[in-house]
Amino acid sequence: MVTTLIEKLVGDLGDKRRWRRYKGRVKALPGNYRTAAEGLERYLTYFGAITKGDLPVDVVMPMLEDLAGLVERAAADGTPVRAVVGEAPVEFAEAFFRNYSDGRWISRERDESISAIERGFYKEVEREITRERERLVKAIGRAEADGRGIRS
């Protein structure tokens, strides 16, 4: 009864614990891998929220946990970040996201005739996605540079 009341006030405690475990895993990564994981997380959650609407916990948490696992394995094996994400980190992130989504709102919108208001909204969304792409590329670049500095 008390747990139910608390959960009604603050949300599902299991989801919060799961999020904290995930964040702990990312925080434990070596610097360059942590930078890459955080950049990918930010892009995936931002990009996912735009393309899918509100990302439900049952979609976002498995995606982020798998991302953490991928980066943890790379760190443990000593695989460079660039070898994981390739030369196009944005394409990697979007392909990674597509494994967890059931459709892309923006793709459908591109194919439909939309009103002037919707076109303005779409342009703003595209600008934000472009900014996030640039941030992701910079984060991967920093992670790669940090990795070189650590190994030197």
Per-residue pLDDT tens for 38-56?
999 998 888 766 544 555 6
What predicted TM-score, i.e. pTM, was given to this entire model? Answer: 0.62
Predicted pLDDT of residue 8: 56
Predicted pLDDT of residue 67: 93
Distance in angstroms (rounded) separating the CA atoms of residues 10 and 13: 8
Predicted pLDDT of residue 109: 43
Predicted pLDDT of residue 152: 42
Between these two residues, 95 and 58, which has the higher pLDDT value? 95
Predicted pLDDT of residue 1: 53
Ranges of beta strands (E only) in 26-105 are none
